[in-house]
Structure 1
Amino acid sequence: MTDPAPRLTPAQITAMHGLDYLRGLVAGRFAMPTLAEAIGYTLVRADPGEVAIRATAGPSHLNPMGGVHGGWYGAILDSALGCAVMTAVPAGRWYTTLEYKVNLTRALPLGTEVEATATLRHAGRTTGVADAVLRGVACGRVYATGSTTCLIMDA
């Protein structure tokens, strides 16, 4: 039996380039963040300026009316958008979301596997901008879109 992947501290994460950290998550060298475990997503791809996150909404993600809660869509998209920005964050720096916007385009049937693909549009000295699409893996339908502006700063 192998040891579980370590969960890195913020200091360990900011000591490396953001893309290296994300690729370590994809490869299973590092444990996913606790939020990923709580809402059930996995980072499946990390390339320069583009990432993909997969998730399947379960019963714990429903609103009182029985639909997938809009906050779940938002959390998946915010995570993908931030990771797209992180692909350009050098060692010794970190980022945080300044604002993000989500547009829900249709109801997501419970149990549908989705993939959020986020693309970096700009990474400067102090800001990063990205956009994303949340699609059904099997059907290709768009369930939501999103965009973000992130602040990039010294660690």
Structure 2
Amino acid sequence: MTAIDFASLSGLELMRWVQTERPADIPSIGRLLGMRFDEVEHGRVVISLDTRPDFANPLGTVHGGIAATLLDSALGCAVHTTLAAGVGYTTLELKVNYIRTAQTNGQTLTATGTVIHAGRRTATAEGKVLDEQGKLIAHATTTCLIL
């Protein structure tokens, strides 16, 4: 693996690097959950994962934390695509609305995050998680602090 100076990459460049390279030796929540960066563009990111039995809640369906993590990742990464090199962010607030359950049988869940506002100190984004049939599983908004 070639050494990369991450601080020299814009947010969009870094997200595209993650999309294409995604080194298996770098621990991340994406690696843990099996997230795939399907689309990365300025102000918009699409991330998907395949459900599995490990994602189950006590009722046997996908735990809401999986959808929340998928949304936090998609929305936060969408915000990151708008940032200059060396600028970071952190989630200040994440509001998730759960619409329906998802099954743990290997179905693909896809989250789309889109930036609404990217300012000097804060950014906001919105997004949704859809199942393979295009049914809405959850939707969310976020506010991020620009660091």
Same topology, TM > 0.5 = yes
1:92 aligns to 2:86 (yes or no): yes
Distance in 2, matches of 1:59 and 1:38, equals 14
* Cα pair 1:14 1:94 within 8 Å, conserved: no
Q: Give the corresponding residue for 1:109.
A: 103
Higher mean C-alpha deviation, range 79-88 or range 60-69:
60-69
TM-score (normalizing by structure 2)? 0.91
Q: Which SS does the other structure have where 1:118 is aligned?
A: strand
CA offset at residue 6 of structure 1?
6.3
- In structure 1, the partner of 2:138 is 144
The CA distance in 2 between the partners of 1:6 and 1:44, in whole Å, is 23
Q: CA deviation at 1:114?
A: 1.3
1:43 aligned partner: 37
Q: Distance in 2 between matches of 1:99 and 1:142?
A: 21
Q: Is the 8 A contact 1:51 1:83 kept in 2?
A: yes
Kindly indicate whether the alpha-carbon contact (under 8 Å) linking 1:7 and 1:33 is maintained by their aligned counterparts in 2: no
Q: Structure 1: any 5+ residue segments left out of the alignment?
A: none
Q: Tell me how far 1:37 sits from its aligned partner.
A: 1.1
Give the aligned partner of residue 114 of structure 2. Answer: 119
Q: Distance in 2 between matches of 1:127 and 1:17?
A: 17
Moved over 3 A (4+): 5-8
Q: What is the Cα-based RMSD across aligned positions, in Å?
A: 1.7
- Aligned counterparts of 1:13 and 1:142: Cα–Cα separation in 2: 35
Change beyond 3 A, Cα 1:7–1:60: farther
What residue is the counterpart of 2:17 in the other structure? 24
Structure 1 residues 42 and 6, CA gap change in structure 2 (3 angstroms): farther
Distance in 2 between residues matched to 1:132 and 1:6, nearest whole Å: 33
Structure 2 unaligned blocks of 5 or more: none
Total equivalences in the alignment: 144
The one-letter amino acid paired with 1:152 is I
Task: String of CA shifts for 1:13-35, please: whole Å, max 9, x gaps.
Answer: 3321000011111222x427511
Query: Could you tell me the percent identity over the aligned residues?
Result: 38
